[in-house]
Amino acid sequence: GQSLEQPSEVTAVEGAIVQINCTYQTSGFYGLSWYQQHDGGAPTFLSYNGLDGLEETGRFSSFLSRSDSYGYLLLQELQMKDSASYFCAVRGGDNTDKLIFGTGTRLQVFP
Residues found near another protein in the complex (CB under 8 A): 1, 30-33, 35, 41-45, 48-50, 87, 89, 91-92, 96-104
What are the backbone angles phi and psi of residue 27, rounded to the nearest 5°? -150, 165
How are beta strands 84-91 and 31-37 bridged, if at all?
antiparallel
5 vs 77, beta carbon nearer another protein: 5
82 vs 87, beta carbon nearer another protein: 87
- Minimum CB separation from another protein for residue 46, in Å? 9
d(CA 36, CA 26): 22
Q: b or e along 45-79 (b: 16 or more beta carbons within 10 Å of the residue's beta carbon)?
A: ebbbbeeeeebeeeebbbbbeeeeeebbbbbeebe
- Minimum CB separation from another protein for residue 50, in Å? 7
33 vs 61, beta carbon nearer another protein: 33
- Minimum CB separation from another protein for residue 43, in Å? 6
User: What distances in angstroms separate CA 75 from CA 15, 61, 63, 91, one per listed residue?
Assistant: 10, 7, 12, 22
45 vs 110, beta carbon nearer another protein: 45
- Minimum CB separation from another protein for residue 68, in Å? 19
